[in-house]
Amino acid sequence: MKVGGQHYHTIWLNEDGRSVDIIDQRWLPHEFRVVTLKTVDDFARAIREMWVRGAPLIGVTAAYGVAIAMTEDPSDAGLDQTWDVLHETRPTAINLRWALDDMRTLLRSMPEAQRAEAAYKRAAAIAEEDVELNRSIGRNGLEIIREIAKRKKPGERVNILTHCNAGWLATVDYGTATAPIYLATEEGIPIHVYVDETRPRNQGAQLTAWELDGHGVPHTLIVDNAGGHLMQHGDVDMVIVGTDRTTANGDVCNKIGTYLKALAAKDNNVPFYVALPSPTIDWTVKDGVKEIPIEERSGDEVTFVQGRGMDGAIMTVRLSPEGSPAANPAFDVTPARLITGLITERGVSEATPEALRTMFPERALP
């Protein structure tokens, strides 16, 4: 998508054919910074400390991390070690394991001398595939938005609520939850997005709002607790969120707070959609609440908040008493029964094991 008139992906290979540049998302919306990753440790740090984040982008970053490792040690032992180092960075987003497994399976099947070149090619292909997956998700989600728009009076806007950032910053380009929004806006459907701020790291306030602002999509930032109230008053036509891991049964793990939005949506008959590429489906897991590991991040993310001061400097300030400990589970699971549909690259699936198996017969486990 565009930043200052220039087209950007969130990650790209440099001209040296080895190092990789990323948008360092920790500084948005205040500063647009690009950093270069040169070693496996750089890649691991960028994922762990959320310089890059969002399930699809974490996967692509890990794939390039494997590629750089192959330039140093293309042995099986080197490959396994890199898999371990990158895999332990963030436990919830399944795209990480999907990309690492994909790379390892491919590379193991070839001589060591060919691995580095093949790894860069495959990482680039995974990145390109992500862009295509998101375009398809966009087209499939657009059809839902069109149907809602048809029921509106002329000129009346379609109000969409989203949580966290499942936008282009969370992917290589376009985003999952935002792809249908961008396409609908291009088509001239009057869209308005309610953006949950998404405490504690504020991906909604800092990233989604920045994206929508940059692309001229009308939006309003709300605190995380406002969604239920807006739904009760008929101000939300649909919810679209992303996901870090969706189970074979259709349970959706996503940013903490998603579950509460789904409960409020159910109570108010507001359709609740989840946009996802198929690498986000974990076919080995059925019960999301019991089986998905939920990342527990530092309590400092709750007790401190980052922003830009009146003097223009980016600063971190304490919110709560020094003696108050904080818990910080980063994700929750929305049970399939609360979900209206899963917007995938192949179409919109019901959140049931049968529907998912029918849509992806070659991926589903017996």
Binding-site positions read 53-55, 90, 203, 254-255
Q: With contacts defined by CB under 6 A, name the span among 168-176, 227-235, 303-311, 348-356 that binds ligand MRU.
A: 168-176
How would DSSP label each residue in 272-283?
A: EEEE--GGGEET
Q: What angle do CA 14, 62, 248 make, to 5 degrees?
A: 140
Nearest 5°: phi and psi at 321? -60, 145
Residue found by looking up tokens 């794939």 in the block? 63
Q: In this complex, which beta carbon is closest to ligand MRU, that of residue 274 or of residue 356?
A: 274
The rounded distance, in Å, linking the Cα atoms of 205 and 163 is 10
| Residue ranges at the known binding site for substrate | 53-55, 90, 203, 254-255
CB of 302 to ligand MRU, least distance (A): 14
HSE at residue 162, side-chain half, CA atoms within 13 A, is 34
Q: Please tell me whether residue 96 binds ligand MRU under the rule CB under 6 A.
A: no
Query: Shortest approach of ligand MRU to residue 93 CB, angstroms?
Result: 6
Minimum distance of ligand MRU from residue 10's CB (angstroms): 11
- Using the minimum distance from each CB to ligand MRU, give the nearer residue, 185 or 203: 203
Q: Which of 56, 78, 257, 335 binds ligand MRU (CB under 6 A)?
A: 56
Among 28, 54, 208, 334, binds ligand MRU (CB under 6 A): 54
The CA distance from 44 to 49, in Å, is 8
Beta carbon nearer to ligand MRU, 242 or 335: 242
The whole-angstrom separation of Cα 275 and Cα 179 is: 9
Per residue in 297-326, is it b (16+ CB within 10 Å) or e — as a string? beeebbbbeeeeeeeeeeeeeeeeeeeeee
Q: Is 281 exposed, middle or buried (0-12, 13-18, 19+ CB in 10 A)?
A: buried
Closest CA to 142 of 349, 347, 279, 280: 347
User: Pattern 319-358, binding to ligand MRU, x per CB under 6 A?
Assistant: -----------x----------------------------
Size of the site for ligand MRU (CB under 6 A): 17
| 9 binding ligand MRU? (CB under 6 A) | no
Q: Which is nearer to ligand MRU, 166 or 336 (CB)?
A: 166
**Is the CB of 54 or the CB of 335 nearer to ligand MRU?**
54
- The contact pattern for ligand MRU, residues 169-188, with x = CB under 6 A and - = no contact, is -xx----x------------
Residue whose CB is less far from ligand MRU, 242 or 288: 242
What is the smallest separation between the CB atom of 285 and ligand MRU, expressed in angstroms? 16
Q: Which residues contact 91 (CB under 8 A, 6 or more apart)?
A: 293, 294, 295
Which residue, among 225, 231, 233, 260, has the nearest Cα to 332 in the 3D structure?
A: 260
Residue nearest ligand MRU, Cβ-based: 242
Residues forming the active site: 244
**In the bound complex, what is the minimum distance in angstroms from residue 266's beta carbon to ligand MRU?**
19
Please report how close the Cβ of residue 18 comes to ligand MRU at its closest, in angstroms.
26
Q: How far apart are the first and last CA of the chain?
A: 39
Edge-to-edge strands, sheet with 33-37: 11-13, 20-24, 33-37
Q: Evaluate whether 50 touches 170 at the Cβ level (below 8 Å).
A: no
Does residue 301 contact residue 200 with C-beta atoms inside 8 Å? yes
- Identify residues 220-279 at the interface with ligand MRU (CB under 6 A): 242-244, 254-255
Q: Distance between CA atoms of 64 and 69, rounded to whole angstroms? A: 9
Q: Which of 164, 231, 264, 292 binds ligand MRU (CB under 6 A)?
A: 164
Question: Which range binds ligand MRU by CB under 6 A, 54-62, 70-78, 116-124, 185-193?
Answer: 54-62
Q: Report the interface residues with ligand MRU, using CB under 6 A.
A: 53-56, 93, 164, 166, 170-171, 176, 203, 242-244, 254-255, 330
